[in-house]
């Protein structure tokens, strides 16, 4: 694909994502203690990627440390062990609780538990990528984050690797490498950006497939090998589009599917002329952390 076609493809992906989500799309209900956060837009074809720092998009649970308390993006407290919290510095931090690529379900089970298990939390890392209310440019904040991690000196606090790319082909090559290793995609943060909150083009995401959320409205029974289990989910998007998701499930999920009313994340390639996602595949429950 040449650069012109690739640019058009990125623009089409952004438009599809917006069309599917609809104007009333809400990913998770924020509680009264929810902190303001910077949220990403989809990378469009007219962006100069050389102005951005690039990092891997981690498959974890976003968590914000205010210097004393660790909370999910919803504002709910993270029930982390005392030793885990004691190792964090007094400075505010923004990052992801993470275990590794393709292990979101495992991570989710650990961090949602009301009683933290030390043996589980020994596997969790707090991967930081931003300094809330930090002064200066993002480039300057990166350097401060690296210093914070070095001074803390604990293995569970790490800075997300940030790097630069020379051009679009180099960005695409890095995306291909990450996806081949079961990573989700890439994040791009503009190097000269001050600290901002809200949805902004200073933070962009790039993934090989589009993803969105929908609410489970029914379970459809399985047949043949899947007899006695869930065969597919009937779901509805915030824009009111109803369709079925029949792939992407493990047998464990088919035996204990997301309840009706649950928000789930799915991947897809494109929309039909009626707005229905093509090749929709289940990814995970959309946890209201």
Nearest Cα to Cα of residue 129 among 110, 148, 116: 148
Tokens of 45: 């074809």
Instruction: Judge contact between 126 and 158, C-beta under 8 A.
Output: yes
Instruction: Judge contact between 175 and 56, C-beta under 8 A.
Output: no
Instruction: Judge contact between 227 and 33, C-beta under 8 A.
Output: no
Q: Which helix (H) or strand (E) holds 175?
A: helix 168-180
Question: Which one is catalytic: 57, 174, 207, 273?
Answer: 57
Helix, strand or coil, per DSSP, at residue 146: helix
User: What are the percentages of helix, strand and coil residues in the chain, rounded to 5?
Assistant: 25, 30, 45
The secondary structure of residue 163, as a DSSP letter, is: B
Q: Is 205 one of the catalytic residues?
A: no
Q: How many CB atoms lie within 10 A of CB 25?
A: 14
Full DSSP string of 59-91: -SEEEEE-SS-EEETTSPBP---HHHHHTS-SS
Give dist(CA 286, CA 266) in Å, integer. Answer: 9
Nearest Cα to Cα of residue 125 among 88, 92, 82: 88
The position carrying tokens 């690797």 is 161
Q: Which residues are catalytically annotated? A: 57
């Amino acid at each position: 694909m040449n650069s012109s076609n690739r640019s058009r493809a990125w623009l089409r992906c952004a438009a599809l994502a917006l069309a599917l989500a609809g104007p009333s799309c809400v990913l998770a209900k924020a509680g009264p203690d929810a902190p303001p956060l910077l949220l990403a837009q989809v990378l469009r074809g007219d962006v100069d990627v050389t102005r951005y720092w690039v990092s891997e998009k981690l498959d974890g649970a976003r968590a914000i440390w205010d210097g004393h308390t660790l909370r999910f993006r919803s504002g709910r407290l993270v029930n982390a062990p005392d030793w885990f919290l004691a190792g964090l510095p007094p400075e505010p931090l923004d990052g992801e609780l993470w275990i590794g690529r393709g292990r979101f379900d495992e991570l989710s089970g650990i961090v949602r538990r009301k009683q933290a298990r030390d043996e589980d939390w020994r596997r969790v890392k707090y991967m930081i990528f931003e300094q809330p209310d930090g002064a200066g440019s993002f480039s300057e904040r990166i350097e401060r984050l690296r210093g914070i991690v070095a001074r803390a000196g604990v293995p569970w606090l790490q800075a997300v690797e940030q790097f630069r790319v020379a051009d679009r082909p180099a960005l695409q090559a890095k995306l291909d490498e990450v996806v081949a290793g079961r990573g989700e995609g890439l994040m791009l943060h503009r190097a000269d950006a001050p600290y901002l909150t809200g949805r902004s083009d200073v933070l962009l995401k790039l993934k090989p497939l589009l993803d969105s959320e929908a609410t489970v409205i029914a379970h459809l029974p399985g047949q043949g090998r899947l007899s006695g289990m869930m065969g597919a989910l009937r779901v509805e998007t915030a824009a009111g589009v109803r369709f079925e998701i029949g792939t992407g499930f493990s047998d464990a999920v088919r035996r204990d599917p997301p309840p009706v009313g649950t928000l789930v994340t799915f991947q897809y390639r494109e929309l039909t002329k009626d707005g229905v996602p093509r090749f929709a595949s289940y990814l995970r429950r959309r946890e209201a952390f």
